Amino acid sequence: MQILKKKIAFIISILLFAFLLWYLFIKPYDYLVSMTYRASAGTINQSVKSWSKAKKNNILLRSKDFFNIEQKWQFNDSVHEYHWKITPVNDSTTKVKVYIKDIANSFKNKLVLPFYSNNFEQRTKRNIFDFNRSITEHISDFKVQVEDSLQQPPSSYCAYIPIQSTQLLKAKGMMRNYPILTGMLADNNVELNGRPFLEITNWNRSKDSISFNFCFPIIKGDSLPQNGLIKYKEFKGQKSLKAVYNGNYITSDRAWYALLSHAQKTGYEVLEAPVEVFYNNPNFGGDELQWTAEIYMPIKQ
C-alpha cells in the first residue's frame, strides 16, 4: 500500500510538473476569451477588421486565412498580440475565441493572473467588451434572409461605371459615381429601364478588395452619350442563389457570406461574383432596416 501511494504521488508530481512546464513556458497565450454570436462567420470576420481599423492603437491586422486573424495593439510601452479564431457552428451561429498575449510580460502574467486581476487583464476586458458592444449593435442593424429556390436577376442593357474599391468602401464608390451616371443619362434624355445594381467582377477575399460595375438599366438607343467614363453593355442574369438584405448598403456584403455558407450547406458550386439590386436611394435617408437589396450569387453551370 505504501509503495502504491508513492507511485501515485510520483505520477501526480510528474503531471503537475508537466502542466507547470506547459503553462509557464509553452502555452502560447496569456488570456483566452470565448464568445458566441448569432451571425455568419463572414459577418464576424468583417466586423473584427472594421472595428480594429477604427482604433488608433491597432498597429497590425493580418488575416492568416478567413477564419484566423492576427492583430497587434500598442498600449503605452506594451504590445499585445490577439489571435482571433472564428469557427462557424451553422449558417447563422459562429463561435469566436481570442487568444491574447502581452509580448514583453507574458511570463509575469501567467504567474499572477490565477491569483488577481492586473492591468493587462483589465485592459483586455475593456477591449473585448468594446468589440462585443460594437458587433452586437451591428448585428441588430441589418437582416439577411436566404431564399430556398434558385432565381436570377433580370437581364438588361445598362449604362455602367467600373469601380475598384474595398468591401467597406463599396457604397462610398457608388455614391461618388451616382450623380455622374444619373446626371449624364438625364441630361441626354436616356430612359431608365429598371433598378440600379452592381455586379462584382473580381473579389479578392484575402485582401477584401473588389472590382465591380455600378449599373443602371436603360432603353438601348442609337446615340447614347459618351464621356470616356460611362460604358454600356448587355447584362445577362444567371441562375443564382438569392438573399434579401435589409440595412445600410455599406454592409450588404454580409449577405454574400450568408450565400456562400448556404451554397456549402446545400452542395451548390458558385461563382464568387455576387450581383446586388437596390430598391432604395440612400440619399433619401429613412430607416435603414427598411432599405432593401436583392443579392444574387451565380451558380456554376
Find out whether 83 and 99 touch, Cβ atoms under 8 Å: yes
What are the Cα distances from residue 290, in Å, to 174, 211, 284?
19, 27, 12
Indicate the pTM of the whole model: 0.89
Residue 57's pLDDT is 87
Cα of 255 vs its chain's centroid, Å: 10
Q: What is the mean pLDDT of each run of 10 residues along the chain (301 residues)?
A: 66 64 68 96 95 88 91 90 95 94 88 86 95 97 95 97 96 94 94 97 95 97 88 97 98 97 94 98 90 98 83
Q: How far is CA 137 from the centre of its chain?
A: 15
CATH numbers and ranges of domains, the chain: 25-140 (3.30.310.220), 145-298 (3.20.80.10)
Pairing outcome for strands 197-204 and 78-90: unpaired
Q: Which long-range contacts (CB under 8 A, 24 or more apart) does 129-138 make?
A: 130/51, 131/48, 131/51, 132/35, 134/47, 134/51, 135/37, 135/39, 135/44, 135/47, 135/51, 138/43, 138/47, 138/251
pLDDT, residue 228, reads 86
The DSSP symbol for 271 reads: -
Kindly report the CA angle at 53 between 80 and 33, in degrees rounded to 5? Answer: 45
The CA distance from 242 to 148, in Å, is 8
What pLDDT is stored for residue 114 in this prediction? 82
Indicate if the alpha-carbon torsion angle 202, 203, 206, 207 is positive or negative: positive
What does the pLDDT read at residue 22?
56
3-class SS of residue 128: helix
Q: Which single residue is written with the C-alpha cell 432599405?
A: 291
The 3-state DSSP class for residue 267 equals coil
